[in-house]
């Protein structure tokens, strides 16, 4: 379907940020591993999170839904009830997090998904699990992946510059391994805030982890500015059932905030916490640098903009999910924006550097693509672009309608992370619609 603007009113008002997708995934999985019943409030029931719910059910958790909350009766005694592979659809987060968790089951589990998910590289995680006694089978280190029982634990290591979800996967599963896990993350550690989020919610479910950082100069790549190794000591422990409320998502809120920045206006976004561990709250700093005025409250953010944005230099190594939003802001700003540090964005739902550049070029954008980012000079026109099945591309490119008429084919994929995206945008003045192609 085609996502396009129906009409545009003055941008302004108040809107609630959707619940965090990252925290929602983790809350479902941790509650499913706890012995007893947990309540997860304000859960994001997006397509991705539903994949995690189905996978946890298949491994033995009892999950019931009541509007936007879940009751989850978890179990340490995981058992794969499916004789067929568990289909995770397009959820890369579920695949990465559940690969380690499935190794805790008492029988083998096969995880698979759609054609896009089957292109995601998983070999670094499989390699890191091997010293922990986990045996897996796959073709070229991609789904379908069969995970066999036998998670002994022990000592392992992994590179930190590919996907933080590999690291979170090991950390989440490690407390229930036979002997606990000692994990070393080699530099450079990209997207560490996402791992910090994992540690944050694990603490809420009763898990304590010892984290240390150290520098080892003799092992350092001379090209690295910093050479910091991070070490996680994760002893054998039990998850405790709890009542947990999911906070608002800065990644999804970036589209609401960017709309006000682009069009000009005053918008309050509720359910965004000042003390959040989410790395994507750096969107507030980015918008300020580009010329918007930001007010940070304890549980909300207010943006005021005149619609005149300026180019900036920004490293998004810790926040790759902001790449496409910042690229759209750059294309509508005065001057040149240089985005660096996001080589790992090439292994998301799409190669987000390539797809963003190719679609911006369709709109007349002057840009240069680099291995780890892009340089964008503001100035584009309307046209038609394709989402490539990427929810973040669909949402970010729809914002261009605030200045130029743009249609996004395959635009319905925002359901992956922001099911009420159209309603939320309408509440602040951008009226979007889905029409048949």
For 344, the token pair is 């790992």
Check if the beta carbon of residue 174 is closer than 8 Å to that of residue 182: no
**Residue-by-residue DSSP string for 50-105:** HHHHHHHHHTT-EEEEETTEEEEEE-SS-----SSPEE-TT-HHHHHHHHHHHTTS
The question of whether 221 is a catalytic residue gets the answer: no
Q: Is 58:107 a contact under the CB 8 Å cutoff?
A: no
> How far is 104 from 132, CA to CA, in rounded Å?
11
Count of beta carbons in the 10 Å neighbourhood of residue 221 = 9
Q: At CB < 8 A and 24+ separation, what contacts does 405-410 make? A: 405/4, 405/5, 406/4, 406/5, 406/363, 406/382, 407/2, 407/3, 407/4, 407/383, 408/2, 408/3, 408/4, 408/384, 409/1, 409/2, 409/384, 409/385, 409/437, 410/1, 410/386
- Are the C-beta atoms of 156 and 181 separated by less than 8 Å? yes
| Cβ-proximal residues to 107 (8 Å cutoff; 6+ apart), any chain | 79, 80, 149
Alpha-carbon span 18 to 251, nearest angstrom:
10
Q: In terms of DSSP H, where are the helices of 73-218?
A: 92-102, 123-129, 164-173, 192-204
Could you give phi then psi for residue 226, rounded to 5 degrees? -120, 145
Q: Which of 321, 354, 386, 390 is catalytic?
A: 321
How is residue 420 annotated by DSSP?
T
Say if residues 158 and 128 touch (Cβ distance below 8 Å): yes
What residues pair up with 431 in beta bridges, in sequence order?
Answer: 7
* Contact (Cβ atoms closer than 8 angstroms) between residue 361 and residue 321: no
Helix (H, G, I), strand (E, B) or coil at 193: helix
> Which positions are catalytic?
321
């Amino acid at each position: 379907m085609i996502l396009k603007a129906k009409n545009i009113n003055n941008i302004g008002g108040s809107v609630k940020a959707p619940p965090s997708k990252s925290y929602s995934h983790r809350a479902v999985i941790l509650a499913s591993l706890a012995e007893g019943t947990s309540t997860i409030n304000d859960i994001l029931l997006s397509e991705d999170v539903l994949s995690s719910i189905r996978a946890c059910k298949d491994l033995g958790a009892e999950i019931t839904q009541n509007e936007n909350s879940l009751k989850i009766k978890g179990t340490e005694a995981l058992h794969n009830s499916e004789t067929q592979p568990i289909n995770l659809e397009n959820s890369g987060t579920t695949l990465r997090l559940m690969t380690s968790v499935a190794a805790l089951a008492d029988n083998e589990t096969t995880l698979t998904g759609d054609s896009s998910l089957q292109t995601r590289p998983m070999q670094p995680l499989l390699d890191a699990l091997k010293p922990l006694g986990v045996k897996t089978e796959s073709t070229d280190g991609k789904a379908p992946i069969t995970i066999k029982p036998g998670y002994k634990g022990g000592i392992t290591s992994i590179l930190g510059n590919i996907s933080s979800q590999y690291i979170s996967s090991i950390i989440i599963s490690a407390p229930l391994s036979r002997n606990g896990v000692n994990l070393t993350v080699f530099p450079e550690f990209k997207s560490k805030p996402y791992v910090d989020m994992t540690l944050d919610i694990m603490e809420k479910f009763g898990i304590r982890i010892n984290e240390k950082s150290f520098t080892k100069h003799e092992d350092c790549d001379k090209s690295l500015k910093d050479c910091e190794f991070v070490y996680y000591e994760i002893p054998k422990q039990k998850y405790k059932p709890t009542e947990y409320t999911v906070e608002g998502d800065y990644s999804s809120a970036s589209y609401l905030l960017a709309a006000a920045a682009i069009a000009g206006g005053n918008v309050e976004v509720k359910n965004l916490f000042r003390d959040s561990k989410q790395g994507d709250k750096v969107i507030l700093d980015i918008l300020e640098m580009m010329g918007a005025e930001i007010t940070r409250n304890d549980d909300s953010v207010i943006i005021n903009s005149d619609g005149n944005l300026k180019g900036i230099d920004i490293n998004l190594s810790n926040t790759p999910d902001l790449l496409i939003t910042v690229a759209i802001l750059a294309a509508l700003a005065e001057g040149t924006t240089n985005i660096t540090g996001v080589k790992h964005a090439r292994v998301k739902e799409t190669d987000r550097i390539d797809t963003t550049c190719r679609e911006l070029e369709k709109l007349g954008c002057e840009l240069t693509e680099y291995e780890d980012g892009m340089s964008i000079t503001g100035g584009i026109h309307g046209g038609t672009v394709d989402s490539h099945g990427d929810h973040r591309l669909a949402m970010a490119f729809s914002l261009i309608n605030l200045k130029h008429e743009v249609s996004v084919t395959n635009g319905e994929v925002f359901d992956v992370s922001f099911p009420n995206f159209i309603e939320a945008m309408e509440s602040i003045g951008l009226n979007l619609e889905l029409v048949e192609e």
